[in-house]
């Protein structure tokens, strides 16, 4: 049913830090990297019907304060990223913020996850997981009103810190 994953050739594995000399997946050793301030911002859009957006704005969703629950879910998810993504390091997060912006005109919620850490590796995955889980929580709490909700445009907006410095997505979130 599932095909065996092909190992990378040894010469190619030497250039890719997540592959050992035999072409097998491994966790990168970050022990020699200096700890620096790391920041990452990720975003997602949760698109829904106009009636659902209006109910969300009015606070008349049967499951209660949907935005507050989604915010807490995103924060909790960021803190557990290393348990979900196999080769991620456990990172000592110093801050996780989840901003939710309801755009009634577009019948969507923009989810923005900002994550900070002072550590040896970046927090891009933590920001992406936070935005994703906050979005999934919105879906879960609103699906009784609208099963056609979609989550779109999950992506990294920017990251700072570390050897590679600053990166920003062209065109904004």
Give the pLDDT band of residue 10 (cuts 50, 70, 90).
Answer: very low
For residue 21, what are the CA distances in angstroms to 5, 10, 13, 15, 92?
A: 16, 6, 6, 10, 29
Give the pLDDT band of residue 25 (cuts 50, 70, 90).
Answer: confident
pLDDT for position 78: 98
Measured distance CA(155)–CA(146) in Å, rounded: 24
Domains in the chain: ranges and CATH: 34-161 (3.30.70.640)
Q: Give pLDDT tens digits for 96-120.
A: 999 999 999 999 999 999 999 999 9
Q: Give pLDDT tens digits for 48-79.
A: 999 999 999 999 999 999 999 999 999 999 99
pLDDT for position 16: 62
Q: Which residues are catalytic?
A: 140
Output the pTM of the full model. 0.85
Q: Which two tokens stand for residue 117?
A: 């850490």
Q: Give pLDDT tens digits for 137-168.
A: 999 999 999 999 999 999 999 999 988 899 99
DSSP output for 28-42: PP-TTSPPEEEEEEE
Strands (E), the chain: 36-47, 93-103, 108-119, 150-160, 167-168
């Amino acid at each position: 049913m599932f095909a065996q994953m092909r190992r990378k050739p040894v010469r190619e594995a030497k250039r890719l830090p997540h592959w050992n000399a035999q072409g097998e997946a491994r966790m990168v050793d970050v022990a020699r990297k200096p700890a620096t301030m790391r920041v990452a911002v990720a975003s997602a859009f949760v698109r829904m019907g106009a009636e659902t957006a209006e109910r969300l704005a009015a606070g008349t969703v049967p499951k209660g304060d949907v935005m507050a629950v989604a915010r807490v879910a995103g924060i909790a998810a960021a803190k557990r990223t290393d348990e979900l993504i196999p080769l991620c390091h456990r990172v000592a997060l110093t801050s996780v913020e989840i901003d939710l912006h309801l755009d009634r005109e577009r019948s969507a919620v923009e989810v923005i996850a900002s994550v900070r850490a002072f550590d040896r590796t970046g927090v891009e995955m933590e920001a992406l997981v936070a935005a994703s889980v906050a979005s999934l929580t919105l879906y879960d709490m609103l699906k009784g009103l609208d099963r056609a909700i979609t989550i779109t445009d999950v992506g990294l907006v920017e990251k700072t810190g570390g050897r590679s410095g600053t990166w920003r997505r062209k065109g904004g979130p």
